[in-house]
């Protein structure tokens, strides 16, 4: 089953609509279903100031079970020039090699007039996980745009048992 959610992202500079596709796995009747790791927590900077067309990553909630987690990087409003963004993961309470596969340097491209792009981080199954764990996805070396804030927090939540 596919559900489309329209989630408003508002900033002082402009407003945009991000459409997030949430896939729900097939399950026997009566079994609770949970989203597959693509739940932005929608925390864009409340006041980006004079930064029009800047990029920022969104905080994200991921479940421990699925193997990948997606962090959305938005650009509000879209502009007619391309943007290159470099990123890396930053350990917090989650640890690379134990909870997720760390990224020391990755590159993301936004084409002209593209409003968002995704960074995918590989999660490592950890069945003993009982509490939320967090890591950061930090943007750096942005060309073609400014940056509202450099880091998103990714929360890995234990799978419901």
Token duo for residue 65: 């079970």
Q: In this structure, are residues 146 and 53 in contact, taking their beta carbons and an 8 Å threshold?
A: yes
Rounded Cα gap, residues 61 and 71, in angstroms: 9
Predicted TM-score (pTM) above 0.75:
no
Radius of gyration of the chain (CA): 16
Give, as one character, the DSSP assignment of residue 147: B
> What are the structural domains, with CATH classification, of the chain?
2-25+33-157 (2.60.40.2030)
List Cβ neighbours of 125 (8 Å cut-off, separation of 6 or more): 64, 65, 67
In this predicted model, what pLDDT tens digit does every residue of 104-134 receive, in sequence order?
999 999 999 999 999 999 999 888 888 999 9
Token duo for residue 118: 């995704």
In this predicted model, what pLDDT tens digit does every residue of 89-105 receive, in sequence order?
999 999 999 999 999 99
């Amino acid at each position: 089953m596919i559900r489309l959610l329209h989630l408003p992202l508002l900033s002082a500079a402009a407003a945009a609509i991000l459409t997030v596709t949430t896939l729900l796995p097939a399950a026997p009747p009566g079994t609770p279903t949970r989203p597959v790791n693509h739940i932005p927590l929608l925390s864009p900077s409340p006041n980006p100031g004079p930064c029009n067309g800047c990029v920022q990553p969104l905080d994200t909630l991921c479940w421990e079970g699925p193997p990948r987690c997606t962090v959305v990087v938005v650009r509000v409003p879209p502009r007619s020039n391309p943007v290159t963004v470099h990123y890396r993961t930053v350990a917090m309470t989650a640890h690379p090699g134990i909870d997720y596969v760390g990224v020391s340097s990755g590159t993301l491209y936004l084409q002209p007039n593209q409003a968002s792009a995704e960074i995918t981080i590989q999660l490592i199954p950890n069945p003993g996980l009982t509490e939320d764990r967090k890591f950061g996805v930090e943007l750096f070396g942005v060309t073609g745009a400014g940056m509202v804030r450099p880091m998103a927090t990714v929360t890995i939540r234990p799978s419901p048992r």
